[in-house]
Structure 1
Amino acid sequence: MVKSKFIVRLILVVGLLFVVVAYAPAAQASAREDRVITHVVHKGETLTSIASKYGITAKAIAKYNRISVSTKLQTNTRLKIPLPGAKATPTPTLQPLPALPPILPTTRPQNDG
């Protein structure tokens, strides 16, 4: 009985390790491809001070996060930091709506009732 519990636990642990190892490289590859990390703003930090930590410009961080360079950062705000070689954030393009046909007046049948 004790041996069977041990074997079951061993199988569970090995299975869990397999799952962790199987998914870890995919997460690392994604981070390398995107070359973007998340920075949590600490009290007193500015875009300029954050930018200097990562070797990029405050303008690059502002553009990537769609904010102004002069934006006052709130503590615990999460900023995406594009590292050198990161792809630019795609800007959505607005597509014009297709022209709708005109609405024509309709006649209703009269109730002769």
Structure 2
Amino acid sequence: MEDRRKHNRIPFKVSLVVDSLFKQNNTKIENLDAEITVYDISPRGVGFYSKADLPIDFYFDAEISFDENRHFLTVLRIVRKTDIEDGYNYGCEFVGLADNLALIINEYAEVQKQ
């Protein structure tokens, strides 16, 4: 199968809690406390696992931290959901990620290769 990804995915382990989801039409889902485990990251988005059943095309705020000096706040949109044995596998894309933040992700990828 041909890999059509624009960016390589980098293994990245971090646990986050999603408190609320929102849509552009002002629909909100609050008080979720959904634990997620991010397993990879690219300049385009992140992949994560969760036991929570989260809806596609909703957005959430996240803080991505590589170390004390490299971290950023971002908005992610859930674009894909697949059932797995113990929950769900999700794919999210960054919304409005600035070029300099994409550079941070690429720098992190270079460090991980070494």
- Larger Rg computed on CA atoms: 1
Q: Which structure has the highest helix share of the two?
A: 1
Structures share a fold, TM > 0.5?
A: no
Q: Of the two structures, which has the highest relative contact order with CA contacts closer than 8 Å and spacing of 6 or more?
A: 1
TM-score by length of 2: 0.21
